[in-house]
């Protein structure tokens, strides 16, 4: 019987996995493989992503075993490992789903050529976006740089909502070599900083679908009104599942289209933001490293950054909503979108630290770290990207906190040392008098940091710095 390889990457699912689906339809015996390599990545997986990947691979292996096969894991340089596997198994084709990051696409093209020389086809399918990144261009034939026209064009073209079923039958074959054990990949942290992750996440396809159904039942209706409130579980929390491809956006759209729910447009719009970020990175691949707006190459970023950067990373800036967000990130591997915008604005505009410091920290600590989404959003916050928040619009973390965390539940959850402080002062403890603070059990500088920066002055300094590059 002929053998084909199903090469799984950021598509760790059985449902709507065209590579798996088409390979199974051909009737050949399938060899599902995951090739782990750290060799040539500019952005090697961060710590939180490695944690997720471990559990996601485990979940996928369990699902494949229920269908009579398993996930074969190999470690080593990708192209070489793939060639060795083909030679040893006699595989006649490789099936995979397309990845969209420019660096990974280039790698796939090189592999495709190498396989062609061997007479082995590599079939690549689109399924991880609602529109592939090159599909939409404006009337002048240029890439979109602003989201709203991109969104309209995307709806006009139609969102891909084909949702293929998981194959009911997989003909299994033994791998030519046993491969490696999951544990030997060493993806889990050696020190137990991941303890909080287990309470918050269930990596894997089952967890992704459970999350979607809970969101449809409990969150979708109020999504447009509550998606900006960090104290509430008002968003889908599907981002890591989407990043690792445990659920396809096409199936999400197909599922939502069965509901006549007015809130579904607002949610699908966010999925199109995800597509947009991939289109931006596809057309402007330099934007994971450099500002889209080249004026920012001359921006006078603060180079003496170590102490302030550490305070920001550790949630010890003395600005409550910023510290709440950074601590939420450390404990759970995620942070609410509104607060991501606030901590990003604070880092780049109040501390004048380069957005790359923030992007790198997020890359290491977010379970949903995604090169396209992270780069575009950091540049949006810093004011130097496509469709960016203008540089002069600087979020005030006090008024933002009062607006979006009015009752202070979010700050109290993550900054318990301020829990007894009255709402009036919670987002600006430095304005409370000593007695008020003492009654809440706080002495600034002892129980909670003195703010590391004056918000008004640093805002003005940022505006002055911006004027110099205009
Ligand atoms: C500085 C900064 C960095 C970010 N880095 C990442 C990242 O590395 N990975 C990541 O997935 N998201 C990133 N985001 C976008 C956004 O914060 C997360 O996608 C969102 O918080 C995930 O929660 P959710 O799944 O509940 O979102 P929901 O509100 O339920 O949205 C549904 C889905 O839409 C997509 N989406 C939502 N908002 C955005 C957005 N602004 N841009 C692109 N796609 C979006 C996500 O895939 C998300 O899962 C970043 C935002 C900021 C401001």
Residue 91 DSSP code: -
For residue 198, being part of any structural domain is answered with: no
User: Closest Cα partner for 335 from 355, 314, 365, 308?
Assistant: 365
Look at residues 127, 155, 189 and tell me which one is the last residue of a structural domain. Answer: 127
Contact between 323 and 310 under an 8 Å Cβ cutoff? The reply is no
Rounded to the nearest whole angstrom, what is the distance from the C-alpha of residue 409 to the centroid of ligand 1?
A: 22
Q: Give the count of beta carbons closer than 10 Å to the beta carbon of residue 52.
A: 28
Q: Are residues 401 and 347 in the same domain?
A: yes
- 128 C-beta closer than 6 A to ligand 1: no
> What pLDDT sits at residue 168?
85
Say how far apart CA 365 and CA 361 lie, in whole Å: 6
> What pLDDT sits at residue 91?
97
Q: Are residues 328 and 442 in the same domain?
A: yes
Task: Using DSSP, state whether 74 is helix, strand or coil.
Answer: strand
User: Closest Cα partner for 249 from 154, 334, 170?
Assistant: 154
Phi first, then psi: what are they for 148, rounded to 5°? -60, -50
Rounded to the nearest whole angstrom, what is the distance from the C-alpha of residue 17 to the centroid of ligand 1?
A: 23
Say how far apart CA 132 and CA 101 lie, in whole Å: 11
- 75 C-beta closer than 6 A to ligand 1: no
For residue 184, being part of any structural domain is answered with: no
Residue 451 DSSP code: P
465's CB contacts (< 8 A; 6+ apart) are: 299, 300, 352
Look at residues 226, 253, 283 and tell me which one is the last residue of a structural domain. Answer: 283
For residue 200, being part of any structural domain is answered with: no
Tokens matching residue 130: 């609602």
Q: Are residues 254 and 342 in the same domain?
A: no
Per the structure, the complete domain to which residue 76 belongs is given by 3-127
CATH number of the domain where residue 89 is located: 3.40.50.620
Q: Are residues 121 and 133 in the same domain?
A: no
Q: Are residues 221 and 326 in the same domain?
A: no
- 381 C-beta closer than 6 A to ligand 1: yes
For residue 196, being part of any structural domain is answered with: no
Look at residues 257, 283, 309 and tell me which one is the last residue of a structural domain. Answer: 283
Q: What is the CA radius of gyration of the chain?
A: 24
For residue 195, being part of any structural domain is answered with: no
> What pLDDT sits at residue 376?
97
Q: Are residues 87 and 150 in the same domain?
A: no
- 17 C-beta closer than 6 A to ligand 1: no
Q: Give the count of beta carbons closer than 10 Å to the beta carbon of residue 416.
A: 10
Say how far apart CA 272 and CA 285 lie, in whole Å: 19
Q: Could you read off the pLDDT tens digit of each residue along the chain, which spans 470 residues?
A: 899 999 999 999 999 999 999 999 988 999 999 999 876 677 899 999 999 999 999 999 999 999 999 999 999 999 999 999 999 999 999 999 999 999 999 999 999 999 999 999 999 999 999 999 999 999 999 999 999 999 999 999 999 999 999 998 899 998 888 899 999 999 999 888 899 999 999 999 999 999 999 999 999 999 999 999 999 999 999 999 999 999 999 999 999 999 988 899 999 999 999 999 999 999 999 999 999 999 999 999 998 878 999 999 999 999 999 999 999 999 999 999 999 999 999 999 999 999 999 999 999 999 999 999 999 999 999 999 998 778 888 999 999 999 999 999 999 999 999 999 999 999 999 999 999 999 999 999 999 999 999 999 999 999 999 998 88
CATH number of the domain where residue 146 is located: 1.25.40.80
Torsion of CA 401, 402, 403, 405, to 10 degrees: 60
Q: Are residues 305 and 240 in the same domain?
A: no
399's CB contacts (< 8 A; 6+ apart) are: none
Q: Are residues 272 and 302 in the same domain?
A: no
Atom of ligand 1 nearest to the CA of 239: 49
Q: Are residues 217 and 243 in the same domain?
A: yes
Q: Are residues 385 and 240 in the same domain?
A: no
Say how far apart CA 377 and CA 100 lie, in whole Å: 17
- 175 C-beta closer than 6 A to ligand 1: no
Strand order in the sheet with 94-97: 72-75, 29-36, 3-7, 94-97, 122-125
Q: Are residues 138 and 270 in the same domain?
A: yes
Distances (CA, A) of 12 to 88, 203, 259: 24, 10, 26
For residue 182, being part of any structural domain is answered with: no
If one counts the domains in the chain, the total is: 3
User: Closest Cα partner for 335 from 354, 312, 353?
Assistant: 312
Q: DSSP per residue over 220-248, as a string?
A: TTTHHHHTT-TTS--S---HHHHHTTSS-
For residue 288, being part of any structural domain is answered with: no
> What pLDDT sits at residue 39?
67
- 348 C-beta closer than 6 A to ligand 1: no
CATH number of the domain where residue 381 is located: 1.10.579.10
For residue 176, being part of any structural domain is answered with: no
Q: Are residues 276 and 358 in the same domain?
A: no
Locate tokens 């709440």: which residue?
324
**Predicted TM-score (pTM) of this structure:** 0.97
The residue whose CB lies within 8 Å of the most ligand 1 atoms, and thus the one to mutate among 270, 332, 334, is: 270
């Amino acid at each position: 019987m002929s053998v084909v390889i199903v090469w799984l990457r950021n598509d760790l699912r059985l449902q709507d996995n065209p590579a798996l689906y088409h390979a199974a339809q051909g009737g050949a015996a399938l060899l599902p493989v995951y090739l782990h390599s750290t060799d040539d990545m500019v952005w090697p997986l961060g710590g939180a992503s490695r944690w997720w990947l471990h559990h996601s691979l485990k979940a996928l292996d369990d699902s494949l075993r229920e269908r009579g096969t398993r996930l074969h894991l190999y470690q080593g340089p990708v192209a070489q490992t793939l060639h060795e596997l083909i030679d040893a198994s006699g595989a006649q084709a490789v099936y995979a789903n397309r990845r969209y990051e420019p660096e990974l696409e280039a790698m796939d093209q090189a592999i495709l050529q190498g396989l062609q020389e061997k007479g082995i086809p590599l079939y690549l399918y689109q399924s991880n976006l609602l529109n592939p990144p090159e599909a939409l261009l404006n009337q002048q034939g240029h890439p979109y740089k602003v989201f709203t026209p991109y969104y309209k064009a995307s709806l006009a073209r139609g969102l891909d909502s084909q949702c293929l079923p998981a194959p009911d039958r997989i003909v299994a074959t033994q791998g030519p070599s046993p491969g490696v054990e999951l544990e030997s990949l060493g993806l889990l942290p050696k020190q137990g900083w991941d303890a909080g992750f287990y309470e918050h996440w269930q990596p894997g396809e089952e967890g992704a679908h459970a999350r979607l159904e809970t969101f449809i039942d409990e969150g979708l209706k109020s999504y447009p009104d509550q998606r900006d409130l960090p104290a509430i579980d008002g968003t889908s929390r599907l981002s890591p599942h989407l990043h690792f491809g445990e659920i396809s956006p096409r199936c999400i759209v197909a599922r939502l289209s069965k509901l006549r729910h007015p809130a579904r447009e607002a949610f699908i719009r966010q999925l199109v933001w995800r597509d947009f970020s991939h289109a931006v990175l596809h057309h402007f691949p330099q934007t994971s490293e450099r500002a889209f707006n080249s004026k920012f190459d001359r921006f006078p970023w603060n180079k003496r950054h170590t102490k302030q950067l550490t305070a920001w990373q550790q949630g010890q800036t003395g600005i409550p909503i910023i510290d709440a967000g950074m601590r939420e990130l450390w404990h759970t591997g995620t942070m609410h979108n509104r607060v991501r915008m606030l901590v990003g604005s604070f880092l780049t505009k109040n501390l004048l630290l380069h957005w790359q410091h923030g992007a790198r920290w997020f890359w290491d600590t977010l379970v949903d770290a995604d090169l396209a989404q992270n780069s575009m959003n950091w540049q949006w916050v810093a004011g130097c990207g496509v469709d960016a928040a203008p540089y002069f619009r600087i979020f005030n973390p006090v008024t933002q906190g009062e607006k979006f965390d009015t009752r202070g539940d979010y700050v109290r959850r993550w900054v318990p040392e301020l829990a007894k402080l009255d709402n009036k002062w919670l987002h600006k403890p430095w304005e409370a008098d000593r007695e008020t603070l003492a009654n809440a059990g706080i002495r600034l500088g002892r129980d909670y940091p003195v703010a590391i920066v004056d918000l008004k002055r640093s805002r003005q300094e940022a505006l002055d710095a911006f004027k110099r590059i205009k």
